[in-house]
Amino acid sequence: MNRFDGVKVLLTGAASGIGRATAIRLAAEGAAVYAVDVSEPGLAETAAAAGGPGTVATRVADVTDEAAVVAAVAGAAETLGGIDVLVNVAGVHKTTPIETLTVDDLHRMFSVNLVGTALFCREALKHLPDRTGVIVNTASLAATQGNPFMTAYAASKGAVLAFSLSLAAELAARRIRVVPISPGAVDTPLTRAPGMFPDGLDLTYFSKIRSYYGAAEPEHIAAAIAFAASSDAAYFTGADLRVDGGAHT
């Protein structure tokens, strides 16, 4: 099912986890993917893992660096011959009890999760075609459901969600769709990283909001992103697409 034959996709956060799974999925469906991440080795692994009929080109860039974002988007448009779809996956996650929350924590969360997303949207809109252009931004279930020790992360993803809904309204006249995706728990290198939860935290609250399906695999989220970015979702815009195994119910 090559829904993305001839479709040119700019994808951030492509070096691992959801971003890598999305690059692989879209290339498998025929897309020409321009994959961006701060990790050059990770991008190389993604490109090696992706098969045809689509293609994956890579670029190393820091999403918090405005000049690097401007150059990356211009590079994508030149390499691909345009941009049809922007998918923002790049993000950071850190659990921090409020007593130890720092200004640096807040700056880092918002710089990567919100500012990076906003900058790529601003620049990609110079190239996205009216009536068929699509933006998919990765928010989180944490944006709308309380999670202990995630105040900074939840606030940054709530900002991504709010940004995306307002952007959808702003671009409605151009018929450019904007879809925020809100994954729940996902088994990725980011969530498995040492120190994800500091020692000594009481994590019993999470048992109340855990999906009976368990944590998602990155491929589950990639499938939802592929749907949102495809013509199958041509009437879907300005609404949060939750992919959380029913954890919000």
Side-chain-side CA neighbours of 65 within 13 Å: the count stands at 10
Q: Residues near 90 by Cβ (< 8 Å), separated by ≥ 6? A: 12, 13, 19, 36, 37, 38, 63, 112, 116, 117
Tokens of 205: 């609250």
Closest CA to 136 of 168, 108, 112, 158: 168
**Active-site annotation holds for 153:** yes
CA distance 218 to 135: 19
- Helix, coil or strand: residue 180: strand
Q: How far apart are CA 26 and CA 11, in angstroms?
A: 10
Q: How far is CA 154 from the centre of its chain?
A: 15
**Which residues are bridge partners to 242 per DSSP?**
182
Catalytic position from the list 153, 205, 213, 235 = 153
Report the catalytic residues.
153
